[in-house]
């Protein structure tokens, strides 16, 4: 920054959230239906304006998360995605939006608490269809968030944050398959994932979901990066 003319341009800063989860066989995103103009009745990301006095960006994201969905930031992975500042993105004026992505396990209930009028979970594939529109430039943000999720599965242990506290290797593989939209060999996936030190810690428990041999249960381990990476084809 090279300082000088200390004016206050009329710009507002918002924080928006792309909250992703895996549910019912698809990657879903939490959206709100707007209750007031602009874009009344259209779909938008949960979010709000940054309060200038009392919070940094990460705190603002955590606050909006709790206000609009009831989720707690400590329970999920929340990271900055990108900042959007196109000129025409908000008809009310100049709004720069700092966007965050969150990854959560199958949510207890969208629990439309707080500010939000109506909170819904939708498969991202539905939202990203060409004929579907969203408020502001939020559709582009959704696409970027999904892309981020897909990439992070490759080289981090993030996949497990989409799973319940205790999960089987098949649960985890299905997360990969759903997010990537790609079939994976269960045998090779099993071997690879169990060979990454610190990714999975066995609980000792076993479950039978539908039929067949019971699967071992695991919890998330301390590892955060995946080495060697799980590469897509």
Q: What is the contact surface with a second copy in residues (CB under 8 A)?
A: 1-14, 16, 32, 34-36, 44-57, 60, 68, 80, 82-87, 92, 94-98, 115-117, 135-136, 138
- Give the one entry of a second copy, DNA, none that residue 212 binds, where binding means its C-beta sits below a cut-off of 5 to 8 angstroms depending on kind: DNA
| Cα end-to-end span (Å), the chain | 43
Cβ 212 to DNA, closest distance in Å? 2
The 10 Å Cβ neighbour count of residue 197 is 10
Buried b (16+ CB within 10 A) or exposed e, 165-186: eebbbebbbbbbbbbbeeebee
Residue pair 139/147 in contact (Cβ under 8 Å)? The answer is no
Cβ 176 to DNA, closest distance in Å? 12
Beta bridge partners of 219: 201
Q: Using the minimum distance from each CB to DNA, give the nearer residue, 117 or 191.
A: 191
- Give the one entry of a second copy, DNA, none that residue 131 binds, where binding means its C-beta sits below a cut-off of 5 to 8 angstroms depending on kind: none
Cβ 35 to a second copy, closest distance in Å? 8
Cβ 172 to DNA, closest distance in Å? 10
């Amino acid at each position: 920054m090279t300082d000088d003319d200390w004016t206050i341009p009329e710009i507002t800063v918002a924080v928006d959230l792309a909250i992703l989860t895996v549910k019912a066989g698809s990657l879903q995103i939490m959206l709100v239906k707007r209750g007031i103009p602009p874009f009344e009745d259209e779909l938008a990301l949960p979010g709000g304006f940054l309060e200038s006095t009392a919070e940094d960006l990460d705190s603002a994201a955590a606050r909006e998360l709790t206000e609009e969905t009831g989720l707690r930031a400590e329970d999920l992975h929340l990271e900055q995605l990108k900042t959007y500042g196109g000129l025409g993105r908000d008809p009310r004026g100049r709004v720069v939006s700092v966007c965050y992505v969150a990854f959560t396990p199958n949510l207890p209930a969208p629990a439309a608490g707080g500010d939000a009028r109506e909170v819904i979970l939708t498969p991202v594939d539905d939202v990203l269809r060409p004929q579907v529109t969203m408020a502001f430039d939020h559709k582009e943000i959704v696409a970027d968030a999904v892309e981020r999720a897909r990439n992070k599965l490759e080289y981090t242990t993030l996949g497990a944050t989409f799973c319940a506290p205790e999960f089987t290797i098949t649960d985890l593989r299905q997360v990969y398959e759903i997010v990537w939209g790609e079939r994976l060999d269960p045998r090779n996936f099993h071997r690879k994932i169990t060979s990454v030190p610190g990714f999975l810690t066995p609980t000792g428990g076993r479950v039978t979901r539908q039929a067949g041999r019971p699967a071992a249960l695991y919890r998330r381990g301390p590892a955060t990066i995946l080495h060697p990476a799980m590469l897509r084809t």
